[in-house]
Amino acid sequence: SSGINAEWPLRPGGRDKMENEDLLRWGWPEDVWFHVDKLSSAHVYLRLNKGEGVDAIPKELVDQCCQLVKANSIQGCKMAAVDVVYTPYPNLKKTGDMVAGQVGFHKNKRVVKVNVEKNNEVWKKLEKTREERDVDLKLEREGRDREDQEELKKRKKVQREMEKVQIEKERKEREMKSYKLMDANPDLCTSNQFDNESDAERELVDDFM
């Protein structure tokens, strides 16, 4: 991967079509996918923080990602300018009739297209920050999903506790209202008491009859 920005990790595509397939399969919901439009090129993934969208990516970083896919395109690297498309990873669509490395989109309106001119200065900076390492994509994604599930469990637990507190608060408020009503109307309590005594007396009389 290339250490362009510590806040947004960048991952260039696989060494071949099969590795690109692994990237397509095990990408993260926070990833943004870059590719040269209508030409063969590397698949580049930019990992955002949770809750961020493509609008959060600084223009400089978008330019760097675009230069990276252009430089890693057999045809595109020879051209003065190319169109580059990028979109959130969840918008990528892979169907059974597509060849290895081929991908489509669920919604075209979520795809951003930019025209990119060759910039050797940016590319040289990228090369200096390049770091090659083997990554278990499946293991990374499974770890990410486990963390997501744990966070969801914690949020649900907090929500349940808040609901319990609210229920108890409403119960106490009802009790207070009831006490205040009895204090304001002492005859109501006496009347209820007489009614109960009358009921008891009637039951006693019924028993003797």
Confidence of residue 4 (pLDDT cuts 50, 70, 90): very low
Q: Between residues 104 and 202, which one has the greater pLDDT?
A: 104
3-state secondary structure of 202: helix
Residue recorded with tokens 């990992």: 47
pLDDT mean over 161-181 = 85
Percent of the chain surpassing pLDDT 90: 44
Q: Report which of 8, 70, 76, 58 is spatially closest to residue 34, judged by C-alpha positions.
A: 70
**The predicted structure's pLDDT at residue 8:** 55
CB 86 within 8 Å of CB 32: yes
Percent helix, strand, coil in the chain, to 5, is 55, 15, 30
Confidence of residue 115 (pLDDT cuts 50, 70, 90): very high
**The predicted structure's pLDDT at residue 48:** 92
**The predicted structure's pLDDT at residue 139:** 92
**The predicted structure's pLDDT at residue 205:** 44
Q: With 70 as the cut, is the pLDDT of residue 119 above it? A: yes
Distance, in Å, from the CA atom of 10 to the CA atom of 1, rounded to the nearest integer, reads 6
Task: Specify which residues 44 forms β-bridges with.
Answer: 34
Q: With 50 as the cut, is the pLDDT of residue 197 above it? A: no
Confidence of residue 7 (pLDDT cuts 50, 70, 90): low
pLDDT mean over 117-131 = 81
**The predicted structure's pLDDT at residue 194:** 44
